[in-house]
Structure 1
Amino acid sequence: MKKPTPKLAVLVAALLATALAQADVNVGVTLSVTGPAASLGIPERNTIALLPSVVAGQKINYLVLDDASDTTTAVANARKLVGEHKVDVLLGSTTSPNSLAMIEVAAESQTPMLSLAASARIVEPMDARRRWVFKTPQNDSAMSQAIAEHMAAQGVRNVAFIGFADAYGEGWFQEFSRAAALRKIKVVANERYARTDASVAIQAFRILAVKPEAVLVAAAGTPAVLPQKTLRERGYTGRFYQTHGVANADFLRVGGKDVEGTYLPAGPVLVAEQLPAAHPVKKSALTYVTLWEGLYGKGTLSAFGAHAWDAGLLLTTALPAALKKAQPGSAEFRAALRDALEAVHEMPGAHGLFTMTPTDHLGLDQRARVMVRVENGTWRLQAGAGP
């Protein structure tokens, strides 16, 4: 067999280099499209269709799997995506328990992970494992402070807590307890329930017995309606607060009259059109709203879809810098992408302005939260809310 001529060898090398330069960027996505968290996961999945397919000349492939709101499945999906599909980055999952369980997969495979869940424990405290993990939803600590501030301003002196019996509920109880104590608000009950429970009658009885001035429900999606509906049916007339885990149309639809008057902290995107013109997130939030409603219709907006949008923005912002250092499909590229994500500065998203650092893998501040109230089946921005 003849050896290739020098010119042919150069040509072959050039063709190989071109092929490598054109390697696709593969994004592995696992979301809770079915199960108790489906009202959160479906808009996240639907947002993937709005994300760019080409960035800096590189094609982006999104491989989307359903974890059915199950922690074990989320981990299995993550292992499949990094092991079989060799993805360059993981996006997901929808819930805090699922995302917390996926951290080990991201760390072991040294694959950057963009979580769409709220628990601060996903990115805190920073350590060798979490240095591969980023997230887009506001921390429960920041939102707890917003609720405690609002309660204090409304003269609330004591509150009953009822939340999910998992990492989401526990994280919220810890953070809200601290925030409430600073405002001299007493937490007089701590009740829990499972995401799949059909009744919270016993928990409601115990809450009613202590006669709280307000109730905080620390749950997410449509299962968050259950405690509020149960307490309303049993005659409770005090104030209700929910977390940003209910910021979608399905909560309003399922809750109906039972959730009227509810207060909650939310990302600015939920009330983008109501924001003052000078609000720093109004323009970037409206960009997502316009794209979403153009495809899915008016009145269908979900803050959870916007978390996926912000994850996509972080990725597309970081990709050009990573592509200058290595080719997709390699360990070097994954490391470069992680470093580029950590260097994102003041990136305008749907929920806020993101500035990542080596010790902060969320990068949001007070500009990423507003207080809203359910009025006539819709969200209304509260006076004085915002940065």
Structure 2
Amino acid sequence: MRFFPLLRRLAIAVMPLAAFPLSALAQLKVGVTISTTGPAAAIGIPSKNAMLLWPKEIAGQKVQYLILDDGSDPTNAVRNARKLTAEENVDVIVGPNTTPNALAMLDVAAEAETPMITLAASASIVEPMDAKRAWAFKMPQNDSHMASILTQHMAENGVKTVGFIGFADAYGEGWWREFSKFAELRKLKVVAGERYARNDTSVTGQVLKIMSARPDAVLVAGSATPAVLPQKTLVERGYGGRIYQTHGIGTLEFLKVGGKDVEGTFFPTGPAVVAKQLPDTNPVKKTALEFVKLYEAAYGPDKITQFAADAWGAWMLIANAVPQALKAGQPGTKQFRAALRNALENTKNLTVPQGVINMSPTDHVGLDQRSRVMGRVQGNKFTYAYGG
């Protein structure tokens, strides 16, 4: 006879749980693999700093963030991705920071049917769209956006001939392809094209070849501190023309290592890097300044980088998509991950610190010309120069 009172008490205890949908009880898991050590650490550390500010709840769901270091190595990035998907069953991956790592992770994301929001730059991560890239999304602007405004600045400032030196990897090749295309459109003649490895300690041979062609300007297509070497060598060898860099230089370490040798450098950048100096008419300024205020409250003034802003934008992108995905299933399920992928792909008019996102099945970046301006290094700081 004691069985029935016990059963009644158990039923009463369970009732409050049954009153809530299962989706409200599940925890959202966001896996991260970024480079906080190795050659790309100058990129990864600001990304991690922004991630440490990510809110712990999205659409009423508690969120667990699992942040792993890939050591700037593609093999480690793949290992991390497999751990996050197979062992941790994450709902979405954010990262990595570098193009080689991101390309190496495409297979894992597709096999696990887990959306991946990369913080690496090359368009090759999301183009051409196929079954693998259907699971990949990208926060940084495509090289084409940046090459467009960069070559416009060159043409409007009297540059006729250009020398090029870039990374001997997917990042450098992506820039060579896009820069060459826009240089032709702007009637700029590319008179030299050289490559170097991220871990090279000398580029004297390449620089001498470029200088022998006497270009009006030189574009260095590198990122973080490895982008300093070609510019430093050009300055030491007495090159007197303009020097341009890509948005990949947007780290405080680039300024520290480059010092006086990078003073005056022109570079395309996302609006958040120079948010305080943007014209009030810039459509991104308000959102960018909100992020700058949050980040500087935690880390001090003048610490914003391209990569910190991209990481915050990744969180905004996820937070915008989760409510829609929850209608299809609870976190931790295949149904939720598929719905989250679909929601990300259908993001419309989402303003993040680096631009306004409008994605589609064929565009997993979704940024337009509102996503970039020209910057200049002045007084060992990133400053606003042009556009927007």
What TM-score, normalized by structure 1, do the two folds share? 0.96
> Which amino acid is 1:46 matched to?
N
Do the aligned partners of 1:110 and 1:334 also contact (CA within 8 Å) in 2? yes
Give CA-to-partner distance per residue, 1:307-350, whole Å, 9 cap, x none: 00000000011111111221000000000111111121111111
Deviation sequence 1:103-162 (CA, Å, 0-9, x none): 111111100000001101111111111111111100011111111111111121111110
| Greater Cα offset, 15-24 or 261-270 | 15-24
- Please say if residues 249 and 299 of structure 1, whose CA atoms lie closer than 8 Å, have aligned partners that are also in contact: no
Structure 2 residue aligned with 1:205, among 187, 204, 208? 208
Report 1:14-29 matches (<5 A). 15=17, 21-29=24-32
Name the SS for the 1:374 alignment partner.
Answer: strand
Mapped partners of 2:251, 2:23: distance in 1: 42
Aligned length: 385
**Residue of structure 2 in register with 1:220 after alignment:** 223
Per the alignment, residue 95 of structure 1 pairs with 98
Instruction: Kindly report which structure 2 residues correspond to 1:242-253, keeping only aligned pairs within 5 A, or say none.
Output: 242-253=245-256
Q: State the Cα distance separating 1:254 from its structure 2 match.
A: 1.1
**2:43: which partner in 1?**
40
Aligned to 1:111: 114
Q: Secondary structure at the match of 2:329?
A: coil
Give the structure 1 partner of residue 64 of structure 2. Answer: 61
How far off is 1:253 after superposition? 1.4
Distance 1:374 1:45 in 2: 24
Q: Counterparts in 2 of 1:175-190, with a 5 A limit?
A: 175-190=178-193
8 Å Cα contact 2:120-2:139 kept in structure 1? yes
Which of 360, 379, 382 is 2:382 aligned to? 379
Question: Could you tell me how far 1:19 is from its partner in structure 2?
Answer: 5.8
Q: Which residue identity is paired with 1:117?
A: A
What secondary structure does 1:382 align onto?
strand
Structure 1 position 69, deviation (Å): 0.6
2: CA distance between counterparts of 1:343 and 1:204? 45
Aligned partners of 1:229 and 1:255 also within 8 Å = yes
Aligned position for 2:54: 51
Task: State the 1:5 CA deviation.
Answer: 6.2
Please name the residue that 2:128 is paired with.
125
SS in 1 for 2:63: strand
Letter of the 1:336 partner, please give it.
A
The Cα shift of 1:291 comes to 0.6
Question: 2:333 and 2:384 mapped to 1: Cα distance?
Answer: 46
Tell me how far apart the structure 2 counterparts of residues 362 and 7 of structure 1 sit (CA, whole Å): 54
1:319 aligns with 2:327: no
Q: Aligned to 2:128, what secondary structure does the other structure show?
A: coil
Mapped contact 1:158–1:187 kept (Cα < 8 A): yes
* Cα deviation code 1:203-245 (max 9, x no counterpart): 1111111111110000000110000001100110110000000
Q: Per the alignment, do residues 326 and 10 of structure 1 end up closer, same or farther by CA in structure 2, a change over 3 Å counting?
A: farther
Structure 2 counterpart of 1:315, one-letter code: I
Equivalent residue for 1:141? 144
Stretches of structure 2 lacking an aligned partner (at least 5 in a row): none
Deviations 1:236-285 (A, max 9, x none): 01100000001122211111110111111100111111111121000000
Q: Is the 8 A contact 2:218 2:242 kept in 1?
A: yes
TM-score after normalising by structure 2: 0.95
Counterpart among 194, 198, 202 of residue 195 in structure 1 = 198
The answer on whether the counterparts of 2:24 and 2:60 sit within 8 Å (CA) in structure 1 is: no
The whole-number CA distance in structure 2 between the counterparts of 1:70 and 1:13 is: 50
For residues 6 and 128 of structure 1, what CA distance do their matches in structure 2 show?
A: 52
Q: Hey, what's the Cα distance between the residues in 1 that align with 2:273 and 2:48?
A: 18
Unaligned runs of 5+ in 1: none
Letter in 1 for 2:86: G
* CA distance in 1 between partners of 2:383 and 2:158 (Å): 21
Distance 2:31 2:214 in 1: 48
Percent of aligned pairs sharing the same letter: 57
SS in structure 2 of the partner of residue 300 of structure 1: coil
For the aligned residue pairs, the C-alpha RMSD in angstroms reads: 1.8
1:379, distance to aligned residue in structure 2 (A):
2.2
- Do the aligned partners of 1:224 and 1:246 also contact (CA within 8 Å) in 2? yes
**Structure 1, residues 31-54: CA drift from partner, whole Å, max 9, x if none?**
011111111100001111111101
Task: Find the residue that maps to 2:375 and give its secondary structure.
Answer: strand
Q: Does 1:355 align with 2:358?
A: yes
Q: Deviations along 1:147-190, whole A, 9 cap, x unmatched?
A: 11111111211111101111000110011011101111111111
Contact kept, 8 Å, 1:47 with 1:306, in 2: the verdict is yes
Distance in structure 2 (CA, Å) of the matches to 1:296 and 1:14: 43
- Deviation larger for 180-189 or 220-229: 180-189
Taking the aligned partners of 1:34 and 1:141, their CA distance within structure 2 comes to 29
Cα distance in structure 1, aligned partners of 2:218 and 2:275: 27
Of stretches 200-209 and 65-74 in structure 1, the one that deviates more from structure 2 is: 200-209
